[in-house]
Amino acid sequence: MNFHSLDYFLFLALVLGGYWLTARYAFRFVLLLFASCVFYMAWNPGYLIFVLLSIGIDYRAAPGMMTAPDQKGRRAWLSLSLTTNLGLLGTFKYFNFFSGSVVDTLNVFGLKVHAPHLDVVLPVGISFYTFESLSYTIDVYRGQIPPARSFSRFACFITFFPHLVAGPIVRASDFLPQLDTTPKLSSRDVGEGTFLIACGLIKKVIFADYLAVNLIDRVFDNPTAYSSLEVMIGLYAYTLQIFCDFSGYTDVARGSGLLFGLHLPENFDRPYQSKSPAEFWRRWHMTLSTWLRDYLYFPLGGSKVPPGRAYFNLFLTVALVGLWHGAAWTFVVYGMLHGGAMVVHRFFYRRAGRTAFSVDPWPLTLLKITGTLHFVVLSRIFFRASSFTNAADVIRQLAEGSTGVFHITSSVWALLALGYAAHFTPKGLFESIRQGFIRLPAPAQGAVLAGVAGGLMLIATENVVPYIYFQF
């Protein structure tokens, strides 16, 4: 059930009706849980059992930590949670990758063995809900939050369908308190929610899907058929596509949440305006970046260790971002590129005596933004490529130096120009548009949304383009 489908909005309307009819009663949690399970089963009913298994163990582990007689007992409950969640994630997402890698290494040394292979389909959104559930048990272990008051509330936190398969990664400390109060729906929430949904659909359908079908997929499927300049334009297009695809789905998720009176965290903050790799990861997939900072980087010691260890901690944390995105060596290389860039940036940043309050002249700021953007664009080769061979073909064609532009249509040019112009528009202008929409009377908001829906139906591609992050 894709967010940009009619099925989703019919489902959303049905669930909203039932939710607000039961808003004053605890039954609403049962309704939300049931609806979220139905939503998840739309992809594969069988994988619901693993979501519920993770929920059940973590729900039991949290009070077990609080009642354990000693630290050893508390650690045992935490270990159960970590083993279950990471075990499921590792089995479904990484077993075949690591198994194949080990066997390939042994074959290089003349040891001919066959890799065991699990013929399974990756459960949709497993990386998202695994990290959410782990944040809950770790926070309870640290004494930062109390255990959930009821199973239905905790299950709603994990399975709430707007963010279940597409993020953002929600913290229990932010979401559970919202479930402990009687929900109220304000006109502002409705206006902002519908605005976010409209923005998300425009990003996904008009920009991401159209660019994917009409340029990006073709370039990566057969890079040698395109000139160097066309390949570069294809990389710019992919960089815009992945932002519009992911942030578009996040917008729909956040907008849907607001219609329930529930607030989901922001996940993107104009990342291509970043002046450094570090700033990029503070603006891109913000909920993942902060999760890794709080639950991996800081426990490793962060920067409060000798410099060499601090650089290693930083590199490892960022490098694992690549592996989180996909079980392939291309993703590992992608993560290592960004980890290395972060280390280099921090080293020279500190050598230069820079602080958070340092201000650059505008030419240097422009140079930093341009350099960071192109580093991100080029690193996306390994994010998008199906293999190292595919990545090498793209790089080779890029380095050829040919400048012909024969395969770029006027509509692709227009979308690229409009997309990047919108991304680099001052945030204040976008905020003014958002506030203006929210202040409109409900009939006017409906008319705007009807116009957006009609436009999307006319422009949408015939081919359904899956959400990029479904593989994660």
pLDDT tens digit sequence for 214-248: 999 999 999 999 999 999 999 999 999 999 999 99
- Could you give the percent of the chain with pLDDT greater than 90? 60
Mean pLDDT value of segment 426-452: 86
pLDDT at 398: 93
Question: Does residue 325 carry a catalytic annotation?
Answer: yes
Residue appearing with tokens 């958002």: 434
Tell me: pLDDT of 139 over 80.
yes
The Cα 439–Cα 445 span in angstroms is 9
pLDDT at 453: 76
The Cα 65–Cα 44 span in angstroms is 33
- Could you give the percent of the chain with pLDDT greater than 70? 96
Active-site pick, 4, 163, 325, 345: 325
pLDDT at 316: 95
On the CB side of 389, CA atoms within 13 Å amount to 2
Tell me: pLDDT of 472 over 60.
no
The Cα 287–Cα 167 span in angstroms is 9
Look at residues 396, 238, 392, 373 and name the one whose alpha carbon lies nearest to residue 329: 392
pLDDT at 471: 55
CA dihedral 136, 285, 281, 356 (to 10 degrees): -70
Tell me: pLDDT of 43 over 90.
no
Mean pLDDT value of segment 343-367: 82
pLDDT at 468: 66
pLDDT at 142: 93
Query: Is residue 192 a contact partner of residue 254, using CB atoms and an 8 Å limit?
Result: no
